[in-house]
Structure 1
Amino acid sequence: MTATDPRPPDPLVPEPEVDADFVQHLHERYAEIRERTPVQRMMTRGGLPIWSITRYSDVRAALADPSLSKDVAGADRVIRAKLPVQDDDGGHPFTDSLAAHMLNMDPPDHTRVRKLVVKAFTPRRVEALRPRIEELTAELLDAMAGESTVDLLDAYAFPLPIRVICELLGIDESRRDDFRAWTNALLDDTDHEATMAAANAMSAYLVDLIERKRAEPGEDLLSGLIEATDEGDRLTRDELISMVFLLLIAGHETTVNLIGNAVLALLHHPDQWAALRADPELAAAAVEEALRFDAPVMHGTLRHTTRPVSYGGVEIPAGEAVWVGLSSANRDPERYPEPDRFDLGRDAQGHLAFGHGIHFCLGAQLARLEGRIALRRLVERFPDLRAAEPLDELGFRFSTLIHGLRRFPVHLG
């Protein structure tokens, strides 16, 4: 079947459930869906029916389609309509404040909030972080050098970005283990009570942190966000809380899995690891190909249709929840020939790992910089690094947003 021969979903075929098995075989399952139909209605583990758009051209168009809204209030109405049996407790003041970030906004609110934040992530400001990222990377590699075997996530991929983002925001580094526990619970789709507890704990901490920064501002980004104005406009309290939440989650979680997934792909393709070892300058190409090959974010965050829309010959009615399949689009053979081959010589330009359109990832430049430094210094320091367990037996976390390993033991050589 070609891209010009779409077929609507077969009503006799059960809707795929996005369960743990789906996540473990993400690319194989999406390849099946792309081949069968470009748009597939699926079912989350919690019972929410959701439409998934899977082909590159459709995903790219959907990411820029204003008919697919990101407004959190509208999304809540859609979810409540599809999942009528819910706790009707009037909402949660802490978790509601976490949701008020710009990824959950449409223009003009999104435009206003992004304008107040974007100045902190200009290429020049990000590049100014290079010496500190190099320094932190060297410290972590020095600590690893005394070991024969480490968990690459615990020893390297996690502490590097969390230290960078905590320093950037002016957050006490001693809380980084708390942030990791909260983040893991928030992104895990198996335990609703743990998710709510983590959301409330993190929000309470951020409320207190913001008040302390307001009273005693520093030179950090959070103090700058509190003071940021544009023609007299400032971020509201809830916008500040949710923005810091977003920067913390996006500022470390995606980079953790960028590094982990990149090394996993390189070890799965020993010739490409050898190429990087021979020429560490290929680290930039390795980051881009890793983002295409195994993006740390599986889907764009939840959208909903404000009117009927059609993609790939399939109409999605108004009032439906929608995922745009970033991981699927990046493996679409119509866009990238031999998409399941990891190739440092490939032109990975145009991949959608950071999204597209007005919601393009604000921290893409920082993630790229951290990833390039991390891969280059790792292969220079430990050129004989190898997996300590069979690669195919390493399991992915069960999340319908983040795609990353649970653990990654490696021999340093």
Structure 2
Amino acid sequence: MKLTVIGCGYLGATHAACMAELGHEVLGVEADLDKVAILNSGRAPFHERDLDGLLAEHTASGRLTFTASCAEAAEFADLHFIAVGTPQRPDGAGYDLTQLFTAVRRLAPRLTAPAVVAVKSTVPVGTAPRVRDLLHAYAPAGDAVEVAWNPEFLRESCAVEDTLRPDRLVLGFPAEHSWAETVLRQCYSEIIEAGTPTITTDWATAELAKGAANSFLATKISFINAMAEVCEASGADVAQLADILGHDIRIGPRGMRPGLGFGGGCLPKDLAGFIARADELDAAAAVGILREAAAVNARRRRRVVDLAREELGTDLRGKRITMWGAAFKPETDDIRDSPALAVAQVLHDLGATVTVTDPEALDNARKLHPELDYAEDPVDAVQDADLLLHLTEWPHYSRIDPQRLTGRAVSSTVIDGRGTLDAHRWSEAGWTVRALGRP
């Protein structure tokens, strides 16, 4: 098939490359000309595992190209995926749909023949009819342009795997749909034939799917972090408690890792967006549990700051703190709502000199937080530190021999905000280890 992907950020660039991997001819549409040039060179303008290989292969073959022209896109194909960003509004009350409606308005006047527009962007429920109305009003093809809702469930650092081998495929249509389902099933035929559960549903259910999934995951993460608070108060071990709970098949171990909490560009935004839309629908009481999940998550960040002040004293002026990690999770350079950088900013504002290291996210962190200090090497970064914080669980941090650090720091104390350091090994090397929810 020929298809386009409009909006080539994390979601769109990955979707475009993976659709080319499935054998389709793909044209990616991106308004940022610098990003277009980078993508056409076979590279991503961000770090995502396995993506550069796909981009290099399929741009070289000619199966995948990128442009800034919606006119070119409309001429190229009759299946258009919209994958633009829908960031949180500045007031925090829901999604900013500016990019989505801009993309629809740019594409619609150029649709002169029947087409399918499949939206992957995460939105508040009730957006699909607005997209349909805009397309039918501005497209010369009128109601021959059909709208489908195809939510994504990607995990950053696993986005390629999650696109090519998803755990489910959701296709949303209006009650009167016809051609759109046939087109999307043809597009995803290889994935469907591989046995991927495929759920065909209505627009509203498809719109709710991503926000509901992320809200549930956020609640699960916040639950085990709430248990960490109870464990700290009682002297229990939250890591062992999580293991015990995870063996219950009704609960499961995934998402039950206690620590600093969640961040990134999806979970916090989708949780806030889900709550805001429920409020608009007069269903505020139904999402009280989600408000508490957000509150628990915020407390995790404050708890790390509290632990640092317990170790160094309430006056942090003149104290040197080294922080391992800037990205919101390992295997990405994404620092959106990074818990690690949120902690770093608070400690800096309290007077500490904070040195941050990260294998992928330093350039992004420098742009957003020029007031912090930065170091490339995590071992060298510990030199003369009064305290070490481990706040992004990059695997190689856990592999560092703590003996190499002994004698470099002023005080051999580490706060393990992710619970992935070997506390016994670090203790044997002379370090004091403090971890959230553990004795």
TM-score for the superposition, normalised by structure 2: 0.22
Q: Which has the larger radius of gyration?
A: 2
Q: Which has the higher contact order (CA 8 A, sep 6+)?
A: 1
**Greater fraction of residues in strand:** 2
